[in-house]
């Protein structure tokens, strides 16, 4: 891959990685982009001029590399932080002028300023590891709205491997019983909605996410060896 764009300021990096470490920021973005590329390219060739949505783009840590991996694609990149979206728009001027990168700030709840039935591919590297359950339902419905029929969605989730490393025995029991666990964190980092850490069981995803999308596959620890990747498809006809 070529040289990345400018490194964001420390406070924006901290919003993505939890600490203002620029080397970690670059390494994580590269690894996550390669894992998303592998998951998508097995099913949809990224050599084609696809329309792609980066959902929860932060300050572009994955987008900077996905733009190189899919050079014929055009990208919308949405984040809940207006500050992050504005920084990206200012620091990718060539791609913005070409209309190849379009940055969108969500105001907390859908609908977003995105066209329905538009995107061939949607990826979410971290949004569903951070949102509470009610927000996840709203945004799953929104991603169904904006994806094309039969469009591919690749969504990272914290599953069994992450739970074993990060959670106490009591929290793991709660996760297993409920299928979903959310722990809020202090301060939303400029985000207009609650934020924290979320974990899912595979059974929960199969049961709950299938109300919105067809769950087509799971790749355990498929994102940087840390998060699971859930592969979903928008059905041609959906009823909630």
Question: What integer pLDDT is reported at residue 79 of this predicted model?
Answer: 94
Give percent of the chain above pLDDT 70: 90
Query: Does pLDDT of 187 surpass 50?
Result: no
Segment 195-209 mean pLDDT: 96
Question: What integer pLDDT is reported at residue 1 of this predicted model?
Answer: 47
**In a domain? residue 123:** yes
Q: Please give the tally of structural domains in the chain.
A: 1
Q: What does the pLDDT look like over 88-125, one tens digit per residue?
A: 999 999 999 999 999 999 877 899 999 999 999 999 99
Reading the block at residue 64, the tokens are 């900077």
**In a domain? residue 86:** yes
Residue 3 confidence class, pLDDT cut points 50, 70, 90: very low
**In a domain? residue 4:** no
**In a domain? residue 30:** yes
Query: Does pLDDT of 2 surpass 50?
Result: no
HSE on the CB side for 88, CA within 13 Å? 30
Give percent of the chain above pLDDT 90: 75
**In a domain? residue 225:** yes
Domain of residue 165, CATH code: 3.40.50.150
**In a domain? residue 240:** no
**In a domain? residue 200:** no
CB atoms within 10 A of CB 4: 16
pTM for the model stands at: 0.92
Average pLDDT, the chain: 90
Q: What does the pLDDT look like over 151-185, one tens digit per residue?
A: 999 999 999 999 999 999 999 999 999 999 999 97
* C-beta separation of 53 from 121 below 8 A: yes
**In a domain? residue 13:** no
| Domain extent at residue 105 | 18-195+212-233
């Amino acid at each position: 891959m070529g040289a990345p764009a400018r490194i964001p300021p420390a406070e924006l990096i901290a919003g993505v990685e939890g600490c203002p470490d620029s080397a970690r920021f670059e390494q994580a973005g590269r690894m996550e982009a390669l894992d998303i590329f592998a998951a998508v390219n097995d099913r949809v060739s990224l050599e084609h001029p696809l329309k792609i949505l980066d959902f929860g783009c932060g300050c572009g840590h994955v987008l900077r590399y996905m733009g190189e991996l899919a050079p014929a694609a055009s990208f919308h990149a949405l984040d809940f932080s207006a500050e992050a979206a504005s920084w990206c728009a200012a620091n990718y001027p060539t791609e913005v002028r070409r209309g190849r990168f379009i940055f969108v700030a969500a105001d907390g709840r859908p609908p977003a300023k995105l066209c329905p039935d538009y995107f061939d591919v949607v990826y979410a590297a971290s949004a569903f590891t951070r949102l509470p359950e009610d927000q996840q339902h709203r945004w799953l419905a929104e991603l169904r709205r904006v994806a094309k029929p039969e469009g591919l969605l690749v969504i990272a989730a914290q599953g069994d491997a992450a739970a074993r490393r990060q959670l106490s025995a009591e929290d793991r029991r709660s996760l297993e019983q409920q299928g979903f666990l959310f722990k809020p964190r202090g301060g939303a980092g400029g985000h207009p909605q609650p934020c924290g850490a979320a974990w899912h069981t595979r059974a929960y995803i199969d049961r709950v996410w299938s109300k919105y999308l067809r769950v087509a596959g799971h790749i355990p620890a498929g994102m940087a060896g840390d998060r699971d990747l859930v592969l979903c498809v928008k059905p041609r006809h959906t009823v909630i």
